[in-house]
Amino acid sequence: MSVISDSQNLREKLVGYRRFFHIHPEIGMKEFETSMYIKEKLVQLGQEYKEYAVTGITVRINGTKGQGKTLLIRADIDALPLQEKNDVPYKSQTNGMMHACGHDTHAAILLGVVEILNARRNEFSGSVLLVFQPGEEGFSGASKMIAEGAVGDIATPTHDAAIALHATPAPVGTIGSKEGHMTSAADQITIRVKGKEDMGVGLTCL
Ligand SMILES: [Zn+2]
């Protein structure tokens, strides 16, 4: 069995997780129900976890092949203050809040990663630190978790490398990657694009 077939076998379950998160969106640092749901799933997997910054969660999975490096995998879990206009069975049930950035997908994916790595811990050395991060949308959730020691001392973190992903409305089966930093935002800029006519298009780069 490959990791790919493991993932395919989890498809239905992960779609269920994603839809739960989508139905129950919560904005930055108030992801109480979201966090509770994640913890519930971790308990079902027999997985221990730690909590930081109230709604943040970390899970460490140690490989049984011996000592080694630590890889951090992070997913953000917060929604946005937007009204959902889609008419789907899993439409947001919270007025004025919506998972419009895909963090519902990220959280569901990370739960899938926990399940697969947990089942395959005898196949790798070192460990994987999985981080469910609250408050990505302007609430400094990562800083708050770091300040509480989620990844050790900032100068000497407990991990050797970190990765994350972000969903994008590209065709299914398409991915993009880049070495180094990607989709990080320490600041926001607004630009005005002028064509033949000034359409007044404002782009916010996040
Ligand atoms: Zn996002």
Q: How far is the CA of 115 from the centre of ligand 1 (A)?
A: 23
Given this model, what pLDDT does residue 50 score?
Answer: 98
Backbone angles phi, psi at 191, to 5 degrees: -120, 150
In the numeric block, which tokens belong to residue 54? 């109230």
Q: How far is the CA of 6 from the centre of ligand 1 (A)?
A: 26
Q: How far is the CA of 75 from the centre of ligand 1 (A)?
A: 10
Q: How far is the CA of 124 from the centre of ligand 1 (A)?
A: 30
Given this model, what pLDDT does residue 198 score?
Answer: 56
Q: How far is the CA of 137 from the centre of ligand 1 (A)?
A: 7
- pLDDT of 107 higher than 70: yes
Given this model, what pLDDT does residue 145 score?
Answer: 97
User: 79 in the Ramachandran plot: left (φ > 0), alpha (ψ -120 to 50) or beta?
Assistant: beta
Q: Which helix (H) or strand (E) holds 110?
A: helix 103-119
Q: Give me the residues near ligand 1 (ion), CB cutoff below 5 Å.
A: 101
What 3-state DSSP class applies to 205? strand
Q: How far is the CA of 123 from the centre of ligand 1 (A)?
A: 32
In the numeric block, which tokens belong to residue 45? 């997997």
pLDDT in tens, 184-198: 766 677 888 777 765
Given this model, what pLDDT does residue 181 score?
Answer: 77
Residue 118, Cβ density class (10 Å: 0-12 exposed, 13-18 middle, ≥19 buried): middle
* All domains in the chain, ordered by first residue: 3-205 (3.40.630.10)
pLDDT in tens, 27-65: 999 999 999 999 999 999 999 999 999 999 999 999 999
Distance (Å, whole) CA 206 – CA 185: 6
